[in-house]
């Protein structure tokens, strides 16, 4: 009897760990893109959540085909498509929106002033604009990506622990995309340029790197990663215009890992995913957000620069 | 020295004007709301405009002030004046707790923590049923925020704020905003400077929230959401970062504009008949759904001001001159912006 | 002027950035009332010495003493409050504020209460010294009491310093719009307004033409004489330091290679090979 109870307890724990890792991997996709932008331009791009929403809706639109509703008139009808088309469209579309955001809103500000406060406020504005464009164009109601989109089923991991195929898929995709980013950053010339720019953007520019193109590439990558996260979030939970609010968690994860550090963003995300799922499993799901923010405050008190952050010093 | 006396006198006259102007009940309500919004906006302006710290959660301090005052007056039977002050003090205490770990660092730490703060306060207010009555709201608050009270508090806090930024603290905050490293090498403890700004701004928002509770007589956690925080920032940005009078003007314009929005459907009968039925339909849709576009307009305002008019309304004048010089390029006036910031 | 007391002492200071050693085993002393200079080619670690002394970085090893107090662990603002003011190689003015406001921001900090003074003042108000550029928070809120007189005093004092560096007629102009040479002098005025006991000037002549440099030389020696202010100047142009500083420290690759009077430095073989040789060949 005692053995069986212990066994159940263990499998519950393990189940929550699997769920936590899968949630954390989605956070990681979002947090890494955010950190990437932060490492280059050193400002928090609050519009990052918007890229997620754009990705989710493009995917939904291309897969199911829906009618765009402007001023209660149906102006545009999109035909249904395949998973691959929907996925590619979502990633590319979000990437392009990210690049456009940078070009239209941030670039003029960057060229005029070095105060990041202005970028921060503009990014907040962009995030509100994107969210409300979707509220007006497709309505605020919750949608779900059809379950037929990805293969369904449960994988038995042994000891009574199961993982749904969406868990496995999101983990695999996260590993694939983050691995791809790692490959891009370490093995290509542009990746080297981005890492150099993360140390010092101006110097990289003086060394002959096309800074404008570099920033566009960074924003495209960030938008693309956010869209991957957005597609999985809207598949596992629901899709709605305010979904971008979830990026707050990714920001917290990035701070816990160390602002601007990519490995930090991944580690922070996994910690956050685990903390949330363990709280849900053992305390209550209402407490999970409070736990997240307490974790943030605790981390700032104990190790303010995060696990992988460099202590910030101003060059004089 | 004389200038500041003049400013104080102007604020007193404005306060008297707001308090004594003969108005209908509806208009009186707008004046009270105006005073409440101005107090909160001044707080955010000190933090964002004068100290350069971005916040996305100042509605949380308003919520703290509102619930403190509501619980003290309605449940414990305390007089409203100490309750309002207590609202400000509670907000200050929480701000200190949040500021301690985040303001030591350079970077967007406070901005991110402020989102967390806003969410956490809302969660606590919604779930602590026995104390706050949860998400359904806290009814039956005495209507203590009359026009006179609101105008008086606005005047006193306004004078204090203008005097403060015209004193050593104003220079200290601007120094740590413009160049924290240089400021610390001039003997300023920049962490302490930022903390001072945060505490004062939290106090103003707490008072503003307490007034709001006494004006609405019913409060709800959802009244203090991200949208409210965004509105506060939008007001400050619109008025011009680093300009307190601009902030007041921005708060007045945005409060009045929002009031117009709420009654926009009243314009429908006045749509002229020469507009084709199709476009009339679009226009009616637009006007009846205007509140839906409110957030979109905030977003456009924030981005537009940052990209086109970084000085806010202050910059409107130089912007107009720039446009003018596009059409008449030989005005020969040097562009102070270009010379100054390069 | 009597050179009796040691004002600043660096004792075997090392500074590493990651694996790079910016300062190696640096020791020197500055006596009260001196006008000393540090020279060395670009990248020799001169500015790092200033950053370590003024508390921007804390050194990896070694200790720094100022007026017989160990200031090694102190933060920048604490070091400054003890009486060390500095200027910056790449200007750090508050460019949107007026020249006068820049100086006033410094002048209001001429005296800061220490923690102990605040505590004792709290217990017995008569204890606290009342420097004539200070007023309380309540007075700031209400603009009553000492506010008007003290603000006027801060302003007048700041104008004096602007006059001293020849910028009185530019007081109202935004600091960022001043010509380069004036911005350098404004930085000096701002540092003077802090009432320091030690003034650190980081490449004050950078980007100036020869006439401006000779005017600057006059200004620095004048300030040193009139305020009886111990001054330490960094320059990589040797001529200027040779002209005004009786005490010179020469650095190369993060280490001190020579110290002495201008004549001693000029004839030091190591200085000649490390510094003059290269520069001379180029020029």
Best of B170, B186, B315 to substitute, by most chain C Cβ atoms within 10 angstroms, is: B186
- For residues A188-200, one letter each, b for 16 or more C-beta atoms within 10 angstroms of the residue's C-beta and e for the rest, the string is eebbebbebbbee
Domain boundaries, chain B: 2-225
Q: What is the mean pLDDT of residues C61-81?
A: 91
| A74 has pLDDT over 70 | no
Chain B residue nearest residue A256, CA to CA: B109
Predicted pLDDT of residue C53:
93
Q: Pseudo-torsion of CA A22, A23, A27, A30, nearest 10°?
A: 70
Predicted pLDDT of residue B237:
86
For chain B, the farthest-separated pair of C-alpha atoms sits apart, in whole angstroms, at 70
Q: Which residues contact C132 (CB under 8 A, 6 or more apart)?
A: C150, C153
Q: Is pLDDT larger for residue A286 or for residue C82?
A: C82
Distance from CA of A313 to the nearest CA of C (A): 9
Nearest to B282 among A71, A117, A118 (CB): A71
- Please report all neighbours of C, defined by 3+ CB atom pairs within 8 A: A, B
Distance from CA of A245 to the nearest CA of B (A): 10
How far apart CA B113 and CA B120 sit, in angstroms, is 10
**DSSP 3-state of C108:** coil
C72 in contact with A, Cβ within 8 Å: no
Q: Which of B191, B220, B196, B236 is nearest to B58 (CA)?
A: B236
Residues in chain B: 342
| pLDDT band (50, 70, 90) for residue C128 | low
Q: What is the mean pLDDT of residues C205-214?
A: 86
Per the CB < 8 A criterion, the answer to whether C261 and C242 are in contact is no
How far apart CA C105 and CA B171 sit, in angstroms, is 6
- How large a percentage of chain A has pLDDT more than 90? 25
Alpha carbon distances (Å) from B143 to A36, A152, B139, B213: 51, 57, 11, 8
Residue extent(s) of CATH 3.40.50.300 domains in chain C: 1-83+196-283
**CA pseudo-torsion sign A128, A134, A140, A143:** negative
Q: Which two tokens stand for residue B81?
A: 């004046």
Q: What is the mean pLDDT of residues C79-90?
A: 90
Q: Which of C5, C73, C56 is nearest to C34 (CA)?
A: C5
How far apart CA A107 and CA C68 sit, in angstroms, is 52
How far apart CA B22 and CA B152 sit, in angstroms, is 16
Q: Which residues pair with A110 in a beta bridge?
A: none
Predicted pLDDT of residue B154:
94
How far apart CA A254 and CA A175 sit, in angstroms, is 17
Q: How far is CA A226 from the centre of its chain?
A: 4
* From A238-242, B43-47, C56-60, the region with the lowest mean pLDDT: A238-242
How far apart CA C114 and CA C128 sit, in angstroms, is 10
Please report where in the chains the tokens 């307009």 appear, as a residue: B297
- For residues B157-178, one letter each, b for 16 or more C-beta atoms within 10 angstroms of the residue's C-beta and e for the rest, the string is bbbbbbbbbbbbbbbbbbbbbb
Task: For residue range A264-281, list pLDDT tens digits in order.
Answer: 899 999 999 999 999 988
How far apart CA A250 and CA A272 sit, in angstroms, is 9
**DSSP 3-state of A8:** helix
Residues in chain C closer than 8 A to B188 (CB atoms): 77, 109
Q: What is the mean pLDDT of residues A299-313?
A: 73
Q: What is the CATH T-level fold of the domain C1-83+196-283, as seen in this structure?
A: Rossmann fold (3.40.50)
| pLDDT band (50, 70, 90) for residue A64 | confident
Task: For residue range C260-271, list pLDDT tens digits in order.
Answer: 998 888 888 888
A125 in contact with B, Cβ within 8 Å: yes
CB atoms within 10 A of CB B63: 32
Per the CB < 8 A criterion, the answer to whether C80 and C194 are in contact is yes
Predicted pLDDT of residue A116:
82
Best of C100, C102, C132, C143 to substitute, by most chain B Cβ atoms within 10 angstroms, is: C143
Residues in chain C closer than 8 A to A113 (CB atoms): none
Residue C180, judged by CB atoms within 10 A of its CB (0-12, 13-18, 19+), counts as: exposed
CB atoms within 10 A of CB B279: 10
How far apart CA C85 and CA C197 sit, in angstroms, is 8
Residue numbers in chain B where pLDDT is lower than 50 = 1, 330-342
Task: For residue range A151-210, list pLDDT tens digits in order.
Answer: 677 777 777 777 777 788 888 888 999 999 989 988 888 888 888 888 888 888 888 888
Alpha carbon distances (Å) from C35 to B65, C38, C231, C242, C254: 57, 11, 5, 11, 22
Residue C120, judged by CB atoms within 10 A of its CB (0-12, 13-18, 19+), counts as: middle
Q: How far is CA A85 from the centre of its chain?
A: 21
Q: Going by DSSP bridges, is the β-strand pair C35-39/C247-252 parallel, antiparallel, or unpaired?
A: parallel
DSSP summary character for residue A105: I
Distance from CA of B13 to the nearest CA of A (A): 34
A301 in contact with B, Cβ within 8 Å: yes
Predicted pLDDT of residue A315:
54
The verdict on a CB contact (< 8 Å) between C51 and A313 is: no
Q: What is the mean pLDDT of residues C245-251?
A: 91
Q: Is pLDDT larger for residue A286 or for residue A90?
A: A90
Chain B residue nearest residue A316, CA to CA: B181
Phi, psi of C2 (to 5 degrees): -95, 130
Q: Which residues pair with C66 in a beta bridge?
A: C8, C69
Q: Which residues pair with A76 in a beta bridge?
A: A68
B287 in contact with A, Cβ within 8 Å: no
Q: What is the mean pLDDT of residues C138-152?
A: 86
Q: How far is CA B92 from the centre of its chain?
A: 17
Quickly list H helices, C194-261.
210-226, 238-244
How far apart CA A247 and CA A126 sit, in angstroms, is 14
| pLDDT band (50, 70, 90) for residue C277 | low
Nearest to B112 among A44, A71, A312 (CB): A44
| pLDDT band (50, 70, 90) for residue C43 | confident
| A130 has pLDDT over 60 | yes
Quickly list H helices, C6-131.
46-53, 76-82, 99-107, 115-123
Predicted pLDDT of residue B340:
37
Q: What is the mean pLDDT of residues C189-198?
A: 92
Q: Going by DSSP bridges, is the β-strand pair C230-235/C198-202 parallel, antiparallel, or unpaired?
A: parallel
Residues in chain C closer than 8 A to A314 (CB atoms): 56
Predicted pLDDT of residue A163:
75
Alpha carbon distances (Å) from A33 to A3, A29, A101, A233: 45, 7, 15, 16
Predicted pLDDT of residue A2:
55
Q: Which two tokens stand for residue A131?
A: 């969210």
Predicted pLDDT of residue B155:
94
Predicted pLDDT of residue C281:
41
Task: For residue range A243-260, list pLDDT tens digits in order.
Answer: 888 888 898 999 888 888
Per the CB < 8 A criterion, the answer to whether B189 and C79 are in contact is no
Per the CB < 8 A criterion, the answer to whether B64 and B90 are in contact is yes
C16 in contact with A, Cβ within 8 Å: no
Distance from CA of B179 to the nearest CA of C (A): 7
**CA pseudo-torsion sign C241, C245, C248, C254:** negative
How far apart CA C71 and CA C50 sit, in angstroms, is 13
CB atoms within 10 A of CB B286: 13
Q: Would the pTM count as exceeding 0.95? A: no
The verdict on a CB contact (< 8 Å) between A125 and B119 is: no
C96 in contact with A, Cβ within 8 Å: no
Q: Which residues contact B229 (CB under 8 A, 6 or more apart)?
A: B55, B56, B57, B58, B59, B60, B114, B118
Residues in chain C closer than 8 A to B175 (CB atoms): 94, 105
**CA pseudo-torsion sign B16, B21, B27, B28:** positive
A313 in contact with C, Cβ within 8 Å: yes
How far apart CA C226 and CA C208 sit, in angstroms, is 24
Per the CB < 8 A criterion, the answer to whether A43 and B108 are in contact is yes
| A311 has pLDDT over 80 | no
Predicted pLDDT of residue C274:
73
C108 in contact with B, Cβ within 8 Å: yes
**Mean pLDDT in chain C?**
86
A286 in contact with C, Cβ within 8 Å: no
Task: Enumerate helices (H) and strands (E) in chain B, giving the number of each.
Answer: 16, 0
- Chain B, window 10-29: residues with a beta carbon less than 8 angstroms from a chain A beta carbon: none
Q: Going by DSSP bridges, is the β-strand pair C61-66/C6-17 parallel, antiparallel, or unpaired?
A: antiparallel
The verdict on a CB contact (< 8 Å) between A286 and B56 is: no
């Amino acid at each position: 009897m005692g053995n069986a109870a212990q066994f159940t307890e263990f499998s519950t724990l393990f189940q929550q760990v699997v769920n936590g890792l899968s949630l954390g991997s989605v956070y990681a996709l979002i947090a890494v893109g955010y950190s990437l932008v932060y490492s280059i331009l050193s400002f928090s791009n609050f519009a990052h959540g918007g890229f997620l929403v754009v990705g989710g809706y493009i995917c939904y639109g291309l897969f199911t085909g829906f009618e765009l509703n402007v001023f209660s008139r149906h102006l545009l009808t999109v035909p249904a498509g395949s998973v691959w088309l929907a996925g590619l469209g979502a990633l590319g579309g979000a990437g392009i929106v990210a690049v456009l955001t940078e070009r239209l809103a941030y670039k003029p500000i960057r060229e005029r002033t070095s105060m990041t406060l202005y970028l921060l406020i503009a990014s907040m504005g962009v995030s509100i604009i994107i969210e409300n464009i979707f509220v007006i164009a497709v309505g605020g109601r919750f949608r779900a990506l059809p379950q037929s989109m990805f293969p369904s089923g449960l994988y038995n991991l042994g000891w009574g622990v199961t993982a749904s195929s969406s868990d496995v898929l999101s983990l695999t995709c996260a590993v694939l995309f983050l691995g791809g980013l790692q490959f891009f950053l370490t093995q290509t010339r542009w990746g080297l340029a981005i890492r150099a720019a993360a140390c010092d953007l101006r110097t990289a520019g003086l060394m002959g790197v096309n800074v404008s193109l570099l920033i566009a590439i960074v924003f495209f990558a960030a938008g693309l990663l956010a869209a991957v996260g957005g597609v999985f979030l809207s598949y596992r939970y629901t899709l709605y215009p305010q979904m971008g609010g979830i990026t707050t968690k990714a920001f917290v994860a990035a701070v816990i890992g160390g602002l601007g550090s990519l490995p930090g963003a991944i580690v922070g995300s996994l910690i956050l995913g685990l903390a949330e799922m363990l709280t849900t499993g053992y305390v209550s799901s209402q407490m999970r957000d409070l736990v997240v923010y307490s974790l943030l405050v605790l981390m700032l008190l104990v190790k303010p620069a995060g696990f992988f952050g460099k202590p910030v010093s101003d060059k004089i | 020295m004389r200038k500041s006396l003049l400013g104080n006198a102007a604020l007193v006259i404005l306060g008297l004007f707001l308090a004594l102007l003969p108005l209908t009940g509806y208009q009186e309500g707008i004046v009270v709301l105006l005073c409440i919004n101005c107090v909160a906006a001044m707080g955010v302006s000190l933090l964002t405009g004068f100290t350069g710290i971005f916040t996305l959660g100042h509605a949380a301090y308003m919520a703290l002030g509102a619930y403190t005052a509501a619980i003290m007056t309605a449940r414990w039977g305390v007089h409203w004046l100490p309750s309002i002050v207590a609202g400000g003090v509670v907000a200050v205490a929480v701000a200190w707790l949040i500021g301690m770990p985040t303001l030591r660092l350079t970077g967007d730490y406070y901005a991110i923590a402020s989102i967390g703060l806003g969410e956490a306060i809302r969660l606590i207010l919604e779930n602590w049923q026995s104390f706050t009555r949860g998400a359904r709201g806290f009814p039956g608050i005495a209507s203590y925020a009359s026009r006179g009270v609101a105008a008086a508090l606005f005047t006193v806090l306004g004078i204090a704020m203008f005097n403060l930024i015209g004193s050593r603290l104003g220079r200290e905050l601007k120094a740590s905003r413009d160049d924290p490293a240089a400021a610390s090498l001039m003997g300023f403890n920049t962490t302490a400077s930022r903390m001072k700004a945060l505490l004062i701004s939290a106090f103003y928002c707490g008072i503003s929230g307490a007034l709001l509770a006494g004006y609405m007589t019913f409060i709800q956690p959802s009244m203090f959401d991200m949208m409210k925080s965004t509105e506060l920032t939008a007001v400050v940005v619109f008025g011009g970062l680093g300009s307190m009078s601009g902030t007041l003007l921005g708060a007045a314009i945005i409060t009045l504009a929002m009031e117009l929005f709420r009654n926009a459907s009243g314009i429908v009968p006045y749509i002229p008949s020469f507009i084709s039925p199709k476009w009339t339909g679009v226009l009616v849709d637009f006007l009846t759904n205007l509140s839906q576009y409110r957030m979109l307009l905030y977003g456009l305002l924030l981005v537009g001001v940052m990209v086109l008019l970084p000085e806010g309304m202050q910059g409107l004048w130089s912007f107009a001159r720039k446009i003018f010089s596009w059409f008449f390029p030989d005005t020969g006036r040097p562009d102070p912006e270009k010379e100054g910031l390069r | 002027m009597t050179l009796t007391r040691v004002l600043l002492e660096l004792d075997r200071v090392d500074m590493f950035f990651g694996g790079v050693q910016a300062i190696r085993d640096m020791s020197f002393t500055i006596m009260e009332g001196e006008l000393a200079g540090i020279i060395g080619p670009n990248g020799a670690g001169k500015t790092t010495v200033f950053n370590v002394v003024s508390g921007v970085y804390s050194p990896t090893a070694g200790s720094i003493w100022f007026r017989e107090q160990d200031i090694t662990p102190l933060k920048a603002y604490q070091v400054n409050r003890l009486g060390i003011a500095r200027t910056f190689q790449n200007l750090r003015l508050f460019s949107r504020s007026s020249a006068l406001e820049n100086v006033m921001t410094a002048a209001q900090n001429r005296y800061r209460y220490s923690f102990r003074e605040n505590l004792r003042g709290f217990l017995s108000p008569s204890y606290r010294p009342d420097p004539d550029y200070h007023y309380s928070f309540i007075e700031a809120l209400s603009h009553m009491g000492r506010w008007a007189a003290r603000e006027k005093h801060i302003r007048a004092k700041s104008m004096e310093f602007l006059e001293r560096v020849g910028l009185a007629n530019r007081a109202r102009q935004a600091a960022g719009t001043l010509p380069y040479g004036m911005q350098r002098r404004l930085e000096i005025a701002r540092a003077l307004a802090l009432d320091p006991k030690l003034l650190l000037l980081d490449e004050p002549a950078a980007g100036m033409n020869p006439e401006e440099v000779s005017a600057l030389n006059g200004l620095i020696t004048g300030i040193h004489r009139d305020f009886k202010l111990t001054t330490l100047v960094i320059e990589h142009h040797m001529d200027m330091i040779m002209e005004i500083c009786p005490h010179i420290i020469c650095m190369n690759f993060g280490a001190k290679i020579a110290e002495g009077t201008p004549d001693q430095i000029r004839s030091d073989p190591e200085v000649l090979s490390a510094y003059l040789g290269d520069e001379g060949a180029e020029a």
